[in-house]
Chains A and B, each alone.
Chain A
Amino acid sequence: MRELNVEAITEAIAKMAVEVNSYLSEDVCDAIAKCKAEEDWPIAEEILDKIQQNIEIAKNDFVPLCQDTGFACVFMEVGQDVHFVGGNIEDAVNEGVRRGYTDGYLRKSVVKDPIRRGNTGDNTPAHIHYEIVPGDKVKITLAPKGFGSENMSQIKMFAPSAGEEGVKDFIVKCVEDAGANPCPPIVVGVGIGGTFDRAALMAKQALLVPLDEPNPDKYYADMEEELLERINKLGIGPQGFGGKTTALGVKIKTYPTHIAGMPVAVNINCHVSRHKEVVL
């Protein structure tokens, strides 16, 4: 058993929280640049140019790209040979979020009750997902999720008879329904299969896949490409004022499902598609 002090997890999350909100990863920057080069609508080009300026300012001034510094989604892949010491793992994660968001001048966007509201004041608790994996390492991915785009996400429990076409039409319709609201250009995360909850989780995890990494399954790689093409023919464009660039990418994750079902979840992210990982 490898011992790992949970303080290391707190420190890693606090550091990542500040960095992930100011520096956009290269795959997203590249996708924006590529879309701008291919854009054929003047206002769309202009908006993509402003988005690039914003990325530069955030990086140079080390300030958040977006004021919605998100709900802290933390994905933990814990090696089964790791023994946590020095405290409770959940407390350690939340302490990391608390420190990062407080010391790093990030916005506190979490309310303590969904109906009765009331800001918790430190952006905790995080949404934490644990997975036990082989090995003695811990991989932590932090993905702050803005809710302008989160609110535009949808899930549907299809009958298997809906088939591939039913799934694809639903994904495109989700983007159409979202329109200008989720700050296009967007990233579309899709989860197909599993159970109701598993589909939603996969849709969120699909948003963590680098945009320049094709789906390992050729069938879904082709589907991602086809969906991106269909979505970018909708004409919504950057910020919804028309144009080719409605989405920067579509990413699909799948899982075996029940003979009676075909769950499909679509989790939408904005162009400030943030995620950062560290292995301890």
Chain B
Amino acid sequence: MEKRLEYPFDKEKLAELKAGDSVLISGTIYTARDAAHKRIVEMLERGEEPPFEIKGSIIYYVGPTPAKPGRPIGSAGPTTSYRMDAYAPTLLDLGQAAMIGKGQRSDEVKEAAVRNGAVYFAAIGGAAALIAQSVKSAEVIAFEDLGAEAVRKLEVVDFPAMVVIDAQGNDQYEIGRKAYNSR
């Protein structure tokens, strides 16, 4: 049974989530992948304002395909998260509430998630047409020159994801595989 989560997330609700929980996320999420993360962290280093408020934000690692006419967005599944590991702890320490991507994370990211009570969700990689159905609107808000990698503000309803790293640092990739192999 999926748990419904509404943005903004409150810390207590995030702390209740357990690795392995299926969730449906609704509200505002921001897209950023490799190039956008690099730029955001460089802006922060220079003391500039990032393109959106990092505190409390949900960042989805995605570079969607262009929207066909009449649609809010093209196909929009998660990209592999470890490439953001170099940048994620900085953003988590600024209060980023959640990350959405796919694949394993570094110990540094896990520690930063635990330290800040943040959560890492995975969406199904390669199920981009299905996932896109939960995106109701999309607007490029920064780095338009990056094309697919521009930062977009998305409004989503019942975006399907799973808790992979919970605020206690449990990792569903480890738990799931171990459980399967000892069944």
Contact = CB atoms under 8 A, between A and B. Distances in A.
Given A54-B128, A148-B79, A242-B177, 8 more contacts: A43-B176, A50-B124, A63-B132, A107-B66, A108-B148, A119-B149, A235-B177, A237-B177
Interface stretch (B47-55, B67-75, B106-114): B67-75
Interface string A217-244: 0000000000000000001110111110
Given A107-B148, A270-B126, A67 B177 contact: no
Nearest to B133: A57
A275 interface: no
B71 to A, nearest CB: 8
Nearest to B130: A54
B177 A47 contact: no
A103 to B, nearest CB: 11
A148 B83 CA distance: 10
Interface size class of A (residues with CB under 8 A): 35 or more
B122 A61 contact: no
15 contacts: A50-B160, A53-B127, A58-B129, A61-B129, A63-B132, A64-B65, A64-B128, A66-B126, A68-B77, A106-B66, A107-B148, A237-B180, A240-B173, A241-B173, A241-B177
A117 interface: yes
Contact of B162 (A53, A61, A241, A243): A241
Q: Which of A58, A151, A183 has the most CB of B within 10 A?
A: A183
Nearest to B127: A54
Contacts of A183: 102, 125-126
Interface of A: 41, 43-44, 47, 50-51, 53-54, 57-58, 61, 63-69, 105-109, 117, 119, 121, 148, 151, 179-183, 235-237, 239-243, 270-272
B86 interface: no
A233 B80 CA distance: 24
Given A67-B64, A119-B146, A50 B130 contact: yes
B156 to A, nearest CB: 15
B180 A235 contact: yes
Nearest to A59: B129
B182 to A, nearest CB: 9
Q: Which of B35, B127, B146, B180 has the most CB of A within 10 A?
A: B127
Contacts of A242: 176-181
Chain A facing B: main interface SS: loop
B82 interface: yes
A231 to B, nearest CB: 13
Contacts of A68: 63, 77, 79
Given A235-B177, A243-B180, A109 B122 contact: no
Interface string B85-126: 000000000000000001110000000000000000010111
A105 B146 contact: no
A148 B80 contact: yes
B173 A64 contact: no
A123 to B, nearest CB: 10
B128 A66 contact: yes
A214 B124 CA distance: 30
B148 to A, nearest CB: 5
Contacts of B80: 148, 151, 181-182
